[in-house]
Amino acid sequence: MSFTEDLEYPQILIHYQNGFLISKVMFAACELGVFDLLKESEELLSSKAIAEQLGSSHYGMERLLDACVGLKLLRVEMKKEGAFYGNTEISSLYLTKSSPRSQYHNLMYYSKTIYLCWHYLTEAVREGKNQYERAFGISSKDTFEALYRSEEEMIKFMYGLNAVWSICGRDVIAAFDLSPFTVIYDLGGGAGALAQECVSQYPHCTVTILDLPKVVETAKKHFVSSEEHRITFCEGDFFKDSIPEADLYILARILHDWADEKCVQLLTKVQKSCKVGGGVLLVETLLNEDKTGPLESQLYSINMLVQTEGKERTSTEYISLLTAAGFKEVEIKKTGKLYNAILGRK
């Protein structure tokens, strides 16, 4: 969207002011199942039929559908009986639950968890810390204890994080030729979407997902098929337990959760366990060195403030962390999407 800088009519500010209204329209339509119903029905439906089938009021549904049309998430056809709605290509591909590229779970995590933390952004900036106590009435001393405050919340988090790899995973795993690395550990590998991408791109590697015990248990139960023999699991705490030897360690969206000191502590442990000639692959969003953007990364950095102990960083900052831990020949590949690949070698 482009805006002219008209000081008489501050269109850009009106758009920003309405930003959260836009998010909420998309979240509510997902949550109510609008896109799923329209995909299943394979024909355009009236607002009355949609409201009836989804068990909502017609009064509210009609307005939600019209806003989705304005957002180009739905298309509308005017017939003599009234308005009929259908999915646009983008909503069918990304907003329906059954699509392999579905972002549904990610959007639900935004709507039900992240949105509540952002309610206290002013307080987070004032205090310089995450807002779990205010948003959910729970202690924020241990970030992942707070994030995993119930099994349901942990599963939502895992589904939400996994979703983005259906649109960015291939690029980050293909950014470098990882074929020389056969024994790979995905530290904090969560629900395993990146591990799956790795074994499908590199036929000779095995990937072990090392994560907290309850995450490993859930990943085995809900996410990674036991028939996938090239993915194994290791329960552990990467700060407290020893890290097994490997050719390559993947740390995807791990360092952004932690302050510099903890990142260097973790990377130093990884460097010590890494085979000579091996390496570490960081997968993170990257801030521009001159602070001009990208806007998504700047917003994600605020999200790290309201939710974690960490922040998003520039390429130079990641190079410093890797160098401080003893890694050499650090290379960076930008994918042009949200997440990038940074390879350091031992």
Contact footprint for ligand SAM (CB under 6 A): 144, 161, 188-190, 211-212, 215, 237-239, 252-254, 257
Residue nearest to ligand SAM (CB): 188
Residue with smaller CB distance to ligand SAM, 3 or 239: 239
Residue with smaller CB distance to ligand SAM, 27 or 144: 144
Strands laid side by side in the 206-211 sheet: 231-235, 206-211, 183-187, 246-252, 274-284, 340-345, 328-333
Closest contact distance (angstroms) between CB of 181 and ligand SAM is: 17
Residue with smaller CB distance to ligand SAM, 40 or 237: 237
Cα–Cα dist 316/287, whole Å: 10
Helix (H, G, I), strand (E, B) or coil at 276: strand
Closest contact distance (angstroms) between CB of 251 and ligand SAM is: 7
Residue 336, exposed/middle/buried by CB under 10 A (0-12, 13-18, 19+)? exposed
Closest contact distance (angstroms) between CB of 9 and ligand SAM is: 41
* Block residue for tokens 């109510």: 32
Contact 166, 101 (CB under 8 A): yes
Assess whether 222 carries a catalytic annotation. no
Please report which helix (H) or strand (E) contains residue 279, including its range. Answer: strand 274-284
Helix (H, G, I), strand (E, B) or coil at 94: helix
- The pair of structure tokens assigned to 309 is 């102990």
Contact 30, 107 (CB under 8 A): yes
Longest Cα separation, the chain: 73
Closest contact distance (angstroms) between CB of 319 and ligand SAM is: 20
Residue with smaller CB distance to ligand SAM, 101 or 328: 101
Selected catalytic residue, list 15, 105, 229, 256: 256
Residue with smaller CB distance to ligand SAM, 64 or 281: 281
Closest contact distance (angstroms) between CB of 227 and ligand SAM is: 22
For 117, 142, 232, 280, the CA distances from 124, given in Å and listed in that order, are: 9, 16, 38, 32
Active-site residue set: 256
